[in-house]
Structure 1
Amino acid sequence: MTAGSQLPNMDGDRTAYRLNPRPLARGGQAEVIVAEHKVTGAKVAFKRLNSRNPRAVARMRREIELGGVLRGHAHVMPVLDHGPAFDWFVMPLAEENAEQASQRLTSGEKLVELLHAVCAALGAAHDLGWVHRDLKPANLLLLEDKWMVADWGLGRRPRGDTTFNGRTVAGQFLGTEGFAAPEQETDPHGALATVDIYSVGQIIGWARTRQEPRQGQALIPADEPWRTIVAAATDRVPERRPQTAAALRQLIDDELARTA
């Protein structure tokens, strides 16, 4: 099964899947289980909610919605099937995530490959008004030798498309500590594309230093060109960061060429 393929008879029938008894991963509100599509025998990742909490349902609905909006994008993890109540969905089974591939990502070549993929996915989402707001190594998945951005549950919809403005309020922290931009500590609903740029900078710092970032503290590598790239991406003033994913990719490519 390829990243952009669909399962036959995608009709939201969860009985079409045979689930492994043990979860592959478990979070606070959902778990991911390796499953088999009974008709085709295809192995997939089946993500389901642990509760019907309205916030959890809303976040899973966002994941499903973005998967449909960017269906077919080479670097966005596709949604293959989902339940009508937005309490489960199916995606391709990834080989690993960036956390598990951390040793390989210390290589400049491998890291650039990841960053180009992430910038491509973010550029497509940002162009449509979406902001991820939760980029971190665990949400970057390797599928058929291509990096994919996944887990858009904390994503911000385009302006005017928000289903319930009160769900994310000023003063409420949203994101993952260390990778979230400082402004997500105070106004996550007002987050712009530059919060994702900050997170990419922290991911680079994490990959190059092999350290876990701390919230609000830029994790800047000692070596060039990564020092310059991360310093720019994680500037505490959002307006001083690269303003688009394309601008960040250009900065990465220019700095790599300059120090080659």
Structure 2
Amino acid sequence: MDQLTAEDPPRIGPYRLIARLGAGGMGRVYLARSEGGRTVAVKVVQAEFAQHAEFRARFAREVTAAKRVGGSWTAAVLDTDTDAETPWVATQYIPGPDLHAVVAEQHGPLPEQSVRVMANRLALALQAIHDAGLVHRDLKPSNVLVTVDGPRVIDFGIARALDSISGDSLQTRTGMVIGSPGFMSPEQVRGLHVTPASDVFSLGSVLAYAATGRQPFGATGHGLHAQLFRVAEEEPDLDGLPEALLGLVRACLQKDPTQRPTPEQVAARTATEGADE
């Protein structure tokens, strides 16, 4: 969390800004407070994206659908203004570090039972997202918040809106890739039709990272194209993954989307009594 700067507006819609929570390829995220005193996270879309009418229309549809997901294992969408000069969306603020920070900066790989519980909760989150007619498209460690009540998924449905402006006009200018290379599915890499099964592949990569501290298809240190090739064509590196999780993660990381388990099946395979911690 960082202090506001002179370039930050004092308010976005009805929300008074308090601090910066982060920034990414799509825009900037602020900690804000409503007039009634509720603390929320407000994501503001980059002006570059806001100039595209097709993006605005898709973004509005995605946010409307995201409101139906609710707050079970996700950060619920509370408010939005897709007609503003710079569109924004406000979600439930959930305190807690993201999974990347927990693994890479704080504690290292998680214990087997913790990864199993995380698999169950993330599968339930994906089930709710898919039931609302959405595909996350960018499930990655930094989009998983680790809280005292369990993991929460954020930014669901937003990456799909970016697809509407990922043609030559924007692709040539920025080299933008929809999704995060180390956690994309093979069909995303190949530019094919993306279904809910794509999120299951990303889930497998996230679980492998949580359990081993490594991306299963390597980092981008040797080049983005090499990493994308590994995702599309090569087998994942699952060395160090606990034996009890190996079958599940391998199933999620099948290249053929039709061979992957559904979120419901992942949830069933990882359900354990007394696993609330």
* Residues 44, 245 of structure 1: alpha-carbon distance in 2 compared, 3 angstrom cutoff: same
**d(CA) in 2 for partners of 1:136, 1:59:** 22
* Residues 146, 57 of structure 1: alpha-carbon distance in 2 compared, 3 angstrom cutoff: farther
1:44 pairs with 33, 40, 49, which one? 40
User: 1:59 Cα shift?
Assistant: 6.2
SS in structure 2 of the partner of residue 124 of structure 1 = helix
Within-5 A mapping of 1:228-239: 228-239=247-258
Amino acid in structure 2 at the alignment position of 1:99: H
Amino acid in structure 1 at the alignment position of 2:265: A
Q: CA RMSD in A?
A: 3.1
**d(CA) in 1 for partners of 2:91, 2:163:** 28
Q: Is 1:199 the counterpart of 2:195 in the alignment? A: no
User: 1:120 Cα shift?
Assistant: 0.9
Q: Which residue of 2 aligns with 1:97?
A: 98
Within-5 A mapping of 1:126-205: 126-142=130-146, 145-152=149-156, 153-155=158-160, 167=165, 174-188=178-192, 190-205=193-208
SS in structure 2 of the partner of residue 178 of structure 1 = helix
Q: Which residue of 2 aligns with 1:67?
A: 66
SS in structure 2 of the partner of residue 211 of structure 1 = coil
Kept in 1, the 8 Å contact 2:141–2:206? The answer is: yes
Kept in 2, the 8 Å contact 1:202–1:219? The answer is: no
**Over 4 Å off, 4+ runs:** 164-169
2:246 pairs with 227, 251, 256, which one? 227
Kept in 2, the 8 Å contact 1:123–1:246? The answer is: yes
* Residues 150, 61 of structure 1: alpha-carbon distance in 2 compared, 3 angstrom cutoff: farther
* Residues 57, 99 of structure 1: alpha-carbon distance in 2 compared, 3 angstrom cutoff: farther
Within-5 A mapping of 1:18-57: 18-20=16-18, 23-37=20-34, 39-51=35-47, 52-54=50-52, 57=56
What is the percentage of aligned positions where both structures have the same residue? 25
Q: Which residue of 1 aligns with 2:224?
A: none
Kept in 2, the 8 Å contact 1:118–1:147? The answer is: yes
Q: Which residue of 2 aligns with 1:114?
A: 118
* Residues 151, 89 of structure 1: alpha-carbon distance in 2 compared, 3 angstrom cutoff: same
Q: Which 5+ residue runs of structure 1 have no aligned equivalent?
A: 1-12, 157-163, 255-260
Kept in 2, the 8 Å contact 1:206–1:219? The answer is: no
**d(CA) in 2 for partners of 1:133, 1:209:** 23
Kept in 2, the 8 Å contact 1:75–1:118? The answer is: yes
**d(CA) in 2 for partners of 1:239, 1:224:** 24
SS in structure 1 of the partner of residue 31 of structure 2 = strand
Give the total of aligned pairs. 230
Q: Once the two structures are superposed, what CA deviation does each residue of 1:179-226 show, in whole Å capped at 9, x if it has no partner?
A: 1111111234x1122111111110111111111343405242433012
Q: Which residue of 1 aligns with 2:12?
A: 14
SS in structure 2 of the partner of residue 80 of structure 1 = strand
User: 1:56 Cα shift?
Assistant: 5.5
Q: Which residue of 1 aligns with 2:6?
A: none
**d(CA) in 2 for partners of 1:221, 1:59:** 40
TM-score between the two structures when normalised by the length of structure 1: 0.76
Kept in 1, the 8 Å contact 2:216–2:238? The answer is: no
Kept in 2, the 8 Å contact 1:67–1:77? The answer is: no
SS in structure 1 of the partner of residue 30 of structure 2 = strand
**d(CA) in 2 for partners of 1:186, 1:129:** 23
Amino acid in structure 2 at the alignment position of 1:45: A
* Residues 221, 57 of structure 1: alpha-carbon distance in 2 compared, 3 angstrom cutoff: farther
SS in structure 2 of the partner of residue 99 of structure 1 = helix
Structure with greater helix share of residues: 2
**d(CA) in 2 for partners of 1:69, 1:201:** 25
User: 1:15 Cα shift?
Assistant: 4.5
